[in-house]
Structure 1
């Protein structure tokens, strides 16, 4: 009869010992990332913590400038007939660092219709970074042509 009591005692003590052993181990599990924006915010916070105060301010200024740029891009897309949601989606895909390292399609010698087709193709293929860069390059080309078409004299330029 003693072995039965010992087995019952072990059976009753085992769950308590198991629970005590696992309570000493950390039970914190990583919280799942809920959205891309959450992940981006966490990465930004991590970067900011590892920077000096001047670097932090520079980073925050750059992020504000990027948001302004994306806002202007969204406005341009809306001006071309895109829905506000679609315009925001496309504009938010713009990353100037990545765009600077990417291949730019030359617009030199292309008509407005050809450029519009390039932009439409990029949008249809959901290559939003490319579409944004094409729009920016097109606007820059238009500005450059306007400057050439209306040259300033030295007297008007303030030199």
Structure 2
């Protein structure tokens, strides 16, 4: 593969799947700066990995797997930083968002962020319309376990959304 071919594929994939990649970013990074850093890490990993794409899976599935694995490594690498940031975030930091946010979207991302890494990954994959088989391949668990976990996640989110709605938020 030539450098020009690699660059063309990279630009096409980033343009076509940027929203998918950013969902992973937003689920694992919580400040604008961290989101930028993680998106850059994912982009670099996609760039490095293009030559290893064999076409055995859909591009979206492969990119999701690369993104999730990169995000998990990034979280592990920056865990102590994240812990310190979360401790002081409420008191000292104000995140200035250029665009108004939808409180419901913020709520769901907050709930996703509180999940363990498998549930978080499955929730993101579900939101992007992946099937159980694809989810099992990406996350590395049996498809039947995916179904059970998705059912539990949905029930928990429904329960918590009722509390959210009843508090007038």
TM-score (norm 2): 0.24
Larger radius of gyration: 1
Q: TM-score, normalised by structure 1?
A: 0.25
Larger RCO (CA within 8 A; separation ≥ 6) = 2
